[in-house]
Chain A
Amino acid sequence: MLVDYRLNRDDILERLQRESQDTINAVIIDMENWLDGVESSTLLVARILQQRHYSHEGLLQILRDAVEVNDDIYGAAIALAPDQADQARGFAPYFFRRNGELSYANLADPDYNYQAQAWYTDAVAAQSALWVEPYYDEGGGKILMTTFAVPVYRETDSGERFLYAVVTADVSLAELHDYLQRLRLGSSGFGTLLSRNGTILSGRNPANIMRHYSDTIVEEVDHNTWREMFDAALKGQVVIRHLTCADVPGRCVIRLGTLKSTGWPVGVVYSEDEITAPLREFELKTALIGLLTMLMMAIAVAIVTRRLTRPLQDLTLASDRIAQGDLETPLPAVRGNDEVARLIHSFTAMKKDLKSYIADLETATARRSRLEGELGAAREIQMAMLPHGGEANEVAEDFGLWARVLPARSVGGDLYSYFCRDRLLFITVGDVSDKGVPAALFMARAMSLIQQLAATADDPAAAVALLNEALTSGNDNCMFVTLFLGILDLDSLELRFASAGHTAPSLVRDGGVSSLLQETGPALGLSPDLAFPTNTVALHPGDRLAIFTDGIDEAFNEQDQMFGIARFNAALLAAGGLSTGTAGRELFDTLATFTGAKPQSDDITLLLLDIADPQRLTLQASSEFPLGPKLTGRVEAWLCEVLEQLAPPQEALGELLLAVEEIVSNVYKYAKLPAGAALQITAEAGAQQIEIEVTDEGIAFNPLEEAQRAELGASIDDAAIGGLGVHLITTMTERQSYRRTGGCNILRVTKFIAKPQD
């Protein structure tokens, strides 16, 4: 189609150019013929006058005939040379058409003086026929005209040549203009005719006639182009130029040539757009047909595609519904045996499989939830076997005891037990191999045996040996348990214990921590007839003993680092000032923070035993302080009141108050507490020390590490004002610790009020 269009376009373009060329040529030839006719009539009269002599009447007759015969001649004159006329003024008869009538005038008029007119003088000067520049004739016609003038020479008898007359023929410019404007090229195209001097003889605008062409052009560029064209045309060349023209829309084409007879530049001005309008029509038609064809093709393709993809679309919709769980969704009907049909078969099979799979899954889930329910019940039963259901907190006059079991699964194999008989305290912590249900069952067996033993036993080693005998019998699965079994004499504070492969307990004493040295026997339940060594350790008032299972020290974090005994001992020491229960929970929190998102791999058990220190905690008080004016004053007043009965040395009390004020100020400054929030302050005091704990719910902030500390001893010029408080806190108190628990900042300081005993 494109090739066809291309060929047609070139064809049409060529034809259009040829046609416009033909039109122009025809007009020029017509005009040449017309002017030729005028010329030849005039030349004929001149030739007659050259050879024959006529009377005035004869001249009039010749002249009248010449004008009458040739319609194209507006008027004609025979202007005798001055010395050839009878009259002194000369003789110049002139016939011309006026209102369709032939009129006569004698140009030999004193006002006119024909011998001075351009048509006379130019012809005489040139001594040959010529076309005179157009002019307004005042002698006879009183119209714009141009004149063909022929000088007539005769010879005297002696052969001397002299001027006899000038014969002229006038052509009306209006007629010339009408003639040229017959030329039609499009609606805005027009012909133009110029004289050799550049005077416009015919053009689109009649007002411009008789003006010089350069006067009608405004643009400088156009000016130059026109002059160049005009000069070329005068030399007989044909020039074509494209210009912007005021009256012609689109691309304006000017074609300028020369009339052969007169030498006048003649040309046409036309709009290329108008000439090529048929071409554009053709282009439009082609484009329309092209578009229509494409549209029809698109519709046809769409219809065919739709027929092909319809089943696929239905299938997509159906599979979406199936994906949402609606397995009853009907699939599209199968037609033929193409790819789509095979796909639908596959989907049908998949739907069936899915149905049966889901049914299976439902059954399995039901079974599993039943099992989980059973396990939950089992957990409750197991926890009920432990004193106080898995988390015990015992505060007695002589001792404090806290213990907790945290199974890795619903049920586990860790156990603890304690029992007070007379002044003896039995303590057991055990860890059954493996975890889950088998461990739990074995643990239950061990628990009931331990409870039987505790009622009678006096010697830990013998008790452990007995337990081993009992657990070994009928233990074909080779389950085993590691066990710590201790008996504490609450009067002498002597602790005797036997270890069946159990981790050594840790002992906190006088601000230090160590693992107990122990001799241990094998784990229980594997072989009969074993003996276990007895370990003895003397406990002191204020001691804290931590008995635990390896779920603690063998806990891993996300980087696969082990918590380890060292970390556990450090945490134990850090919690040293806390009460038994608080310390125990704090240790579990520390462990949970360490392991992070790593799932718990083993059961965890911790038992803390505090030996009461009569000199230790004698006072415990706690109060809340809402933020507001005189906060430090209120705290100070409360502390003084609480500590009054203790009567601490004035200096120590002053220093403690200073430290507390700095802590409270720090919280106020950095914790960004909302208005209406409160601080909680707890005071615990004994004979030797006062412990203050300040708790706030502000943003996590450890003043011991993060507070901006001023550089001490700087000169006034360099020193920063502020940041001195932390120095005071650390100097004025003996121990400081910070922890973040349950969204709270907790800062604890210890102030010694008497020298600690060694």
Chain B
Amino acid sequence: MELTTTVTNDEQNSVARIALAGALNTDTAPDFEKQLSAVLAGQQNLILLDMKDLDYISSAGLRVIFKGAKQAKASGQRMAAANRKPHIDKVFEILKALPDMAVFANEQELDDYLDAMQKQVRDN
């Protein structure tokens, strides 16, 4: 299975959204790692991994996300995952991976989060 990624930048909210579709495994992880670091270099505040169409993730894929989250934290950015399918969720659960990462179950939670952030910005 291949991995397709689509990156959209929301400059207004400083959010980079990476939509993942297909399988993030040993074969596809190296390419994704490059893409992720390019996005991280874009200096958006929030890097959102949209896993709505992600069917499969292995530890090699998790490693890349893990590494990205570490990098993001070091540079003051945040990384979040949204729309995880149950079996993807199970892998995250098993590995108790990324406890620091924000997780949004669906689009509504994400919007709420973004609103809260904007409100915070306005209040400041």
Contacts and interface: CB of A to CB of B under 8 A. Distances in A.
A643 to B, nearest CB: 15
Contacts of B100: 715-716
A601 interface: no
A716 B69 contact: yes
Given A654-B87, A719-B66, A633 B58 contact: no
A662 B27 contact: no
B63 A721 contact: yes
Contacts of B122: none
Contacts of B63: 721-722, 724
Interface in A636-688: 636, 651, 654-655, 657-658, 661-662, 664-665, 668
A721 B70 contact: yes
A630 B25 CA distance: 10
Contacts of B96: 712-713
Contacts of A710: 95
B60 A665 contact: yes
Given A665-B60, A728-B91, A716 B73 contact: yes
A662 B58 contact: yes
Interface string A702-746: 000000001011111101011011011001100000000000000
Contacts of A657: 56
Nearest to B62: A724
A727 B94 contact: yes
Interface residues of A, number: 32
A595 B97 CA distance: 44
Contact of B27 (A630, A717, A725): A630
A636 B25 CA distance: 11
A482 interface: no
A89 to B, nearest CB: 125
B5 interface: no
Nearest to B66: A721
A658 B91 contact: yes
A668 B58 CA distance: 15
A632 interface: yes
A715 B66 CA distance: 11
A727 B98 contact: no
Contacts of B59: 662, 665, 722, 724-725, 727-728
B106 to A, nearest CB: 21
Contacts, number: 78
Contacts of A651: 87
A662 B26 CA distance: 8
Nearest to A657: B56
A interface, by DSSP: helix, strand, loop or mixed? helix
Nearest to A650: B87
B76 interface: no
A628 to B, nearest CB: 11
Interface string A282-307: 00000000000000000000000000
B34 interface: no
A201 B69 CA distance: 109
A716 B70 contact: yes
A719 B62 CA distance: 13
B87 A655 contact: yes
B27 A658 contact: no
Nearest to B60: A665
A668 B29 CA distance: 15
A4 B98 CA distance: 103
Contact of B56 (A630, A658, A727): A658
Nearest to B56: A654
Interface in B3-26: 25-26
A661 B25 contact: yes
Contacts of A658: 56, 58, 91
B1 A728 contact: no
A563 to B, nearest CB: 38
Contacts of A722: 59, 63
B76 to A, nearest CB: 13
21 contacts: A632-B27, A636-B1, A651-B87, A654-B55, A654-B56, A655-B90, A661-B60, A710-B95, A713-B99, A714-B99, A715-B99, A716-B99, A716-B100, A716-B101, A717-B70, A724-B97, A725-B59, A727-B95, A728-B58, A731-B94, A732-B94
Interface of A: 629-633, 636, 651, 654-655, 657-658, 661-662, 664-665, 668, 710, 712-717, 719, 721-722, 724-725, 727-728, 731-732
Given A631-B26, A731-B94, 9 more contacts: A632-B25, A632-B26, A633-B1, A636-B1, A636-B25, A654-B87, A655-B90, A714-B99, A717-B73
Interface of B: 1, 25-27, 55-56, 58-60, 62-63, 66-67, 69-70, 73, 87, 90-91, 94-101
Q: Which 4 A-B pairs have the closest CB atoms?
A: A713-B96, A725-B59, A724-B59, A632-B26
